[in-house]
């Protein structure tokens, strides 16, 4: 007889930039979601998988909760609502450094209405002294969505194991949904495109990060030592295109060099990255393109 296992889905809810993706990466033990200091980094629901001897915790990283402005952000918010309706437990992530605000209260009340058990993670406690941490934890507990409030630093890893153990305890018994070696549900081309986009986000400001999408349209593994990857960086305006190319091409070169290292780490081979910047006016408002991008 096979031993009893527990397995289920925990969806992460929270305002943009509170550290949901960093926390998912920390719990999975591998980078499955890209991270940036710009809000609205995450655009898709990304399942990150952590597997123990007799449990499998599927963490659903989600876009930050925000007011939609265009078809892209409308889809992102619809996805958040759908995933939260379908999870075994919700993990509400708040930014301990900023404290609890109206946005967190709004999300907490939506989670309460959802009915699944809610756990709160107060993140970024590495930025707080003892008094600040106590204040943040007290404010989080006052959200009154559950008794379980965990102080964590997704960046340093502090408190992350305790949180994982607690979440595992909430899972229903049942078979694994993913193979024990799997860490993500995202297809290879999307994972690679996201790693390129992460390097774009690091180097761009204001409106530009929001206007960029990356599409990987060819991954050639026919040469065993070197994977050839072709990536297109979409922008919405000619001015954004010139920013991304940079004077004498130095910006696109810097993005390409940094991204190539990330792709090499991900693929475990050397990588030849062919990167080009393309004007795609209004892609954020184009339902057909958003479907093609798998943002739904």
Contact flags string 30-59 toward Mg ion, x per CB under 5 A = -----------xx-----------------
The answer to whether 186 contacts ligand GTP (rule: CB under 6 A) is no
Site for ligand GTP in 122-141 (CB under 6 A): 123-124, 126-127
DSSP 173: B
**Of 17 and 73, which has the nearer Cβ to ligand GTP?**
17
Q: Is 74 an interacting residue with respect to ligand GTP (CB under 6 A)?
A: no
- Minimum distance from residue 220 beta carbon to ligand GTP (Å): 30
Q: Exactly one of 11, 13, 18, 192 binds ligand GTP (CB under 6 A); which one?
A: 18
210 SS3 class: helix
Q: Which is nearer to Mg ion, 21 or 227 (CB)?
A: 21
Q: Which residues contact 98 (CB under 8 A, 6 or more apart)?
A: none
Partner from Mg ion, ligand GTP, none binding residue 127, C-beta < 5-8 Å depending on class: ligand GTP
Tokens describing residue 78: 């619809």
**281 CB neighbour count, 10 Å cutoff:** 12
Is 63 a binder of ligand GTP (CB under 6 A)? yes
Q: Specify whether the CB–CB gap between 192 and 216 falls below 8 A.
A: yes
Please identify which residue in 9, 14, 21, 273 interacts with Mg ion, judged by CB under 5 A: 21
Helix (H) or strand (E) holding 185, with range, is: none
In the complex, the smallest distance separating the C-beta of residue 154 from ligand GTP, rounded to whole angstroms, is 4
Which of 7, 22, 204, 227 binds ligand GTP (CB under 6 A)? It is 22
Cβ contacts of 107-115, under 8 Å, gap ≥ 24: 107/13, 107/14, 107/15, 107/65, 108/143, 108/144, 108/145, 110/13, 110/65, 110/84, 111/13, 111/84, 111/145, 112/144, 112/145, 114/84, 114/85, 114/90
Told to check if 22 binds Mg ion by CB under 5 A, we report no
Q: Which is nearer to ligand GTP, 6 or 20 (CB)?
A: 20
């Amino acid at each position: 007889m096979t031993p009893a296992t527990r397995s289920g889905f925990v969806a992460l809810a929270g305002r943009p930039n509170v550290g949901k993706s960093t926390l998912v990466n920390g719990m999975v033990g591998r980078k499955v979601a890209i991270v940036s200091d710009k809000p609205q980094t995450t655009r898709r629901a990304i399942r990150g998988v952590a597997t123990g001897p007799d449990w499998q915790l599927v963490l659903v990283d989600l876009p930050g909760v925000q007011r939609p402005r265009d078809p892209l952000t409308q889809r992102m918010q619809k996805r958040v609502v759908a995933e939260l309706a379908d999870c075994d437990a919700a993990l509400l992530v708040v930014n301990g450094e900023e404290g609890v605000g109206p946005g967190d209260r709004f999300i907490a009340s939506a989670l309460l209405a959802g009915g699944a058990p809610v756990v709160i993670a107060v993140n970024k406690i590495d930025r707080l002294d003892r008094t600040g941490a106590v204040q943040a934890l007290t404010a989080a507990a006052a959200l009154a969505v559950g008794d379980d409030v965990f102080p964590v630093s997704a960046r340093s890893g502090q408190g992350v194991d305790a949180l994982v153990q607690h979440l595992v305890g909430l899972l229903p018994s049942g078979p694994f949904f993913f193979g024990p070696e799997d860490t993500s549900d995202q297809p290879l081309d999307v994972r690679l495109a996201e790693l390129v986009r992460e390097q774009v986000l690091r180097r761009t400001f204001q409106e530009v990060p929001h206007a960029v999408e990356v599409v990987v349209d060819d991954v050639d593994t026919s040469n065993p030592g070197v994977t050839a990857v072709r990536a297109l960086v979409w922008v919405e305006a000619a001015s954004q295109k010139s920013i991304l190319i940079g004077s004498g091409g130095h910006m696109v070169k810097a993005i390409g060099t940094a991204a190539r290292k990330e792709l090499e780490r991900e693929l475990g081979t050397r990588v030849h990255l062919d990167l080009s910047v393309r004007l795609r006016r209004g892609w954020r408002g184009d339902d057909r393109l958003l479907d093609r991008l798998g943002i739904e």
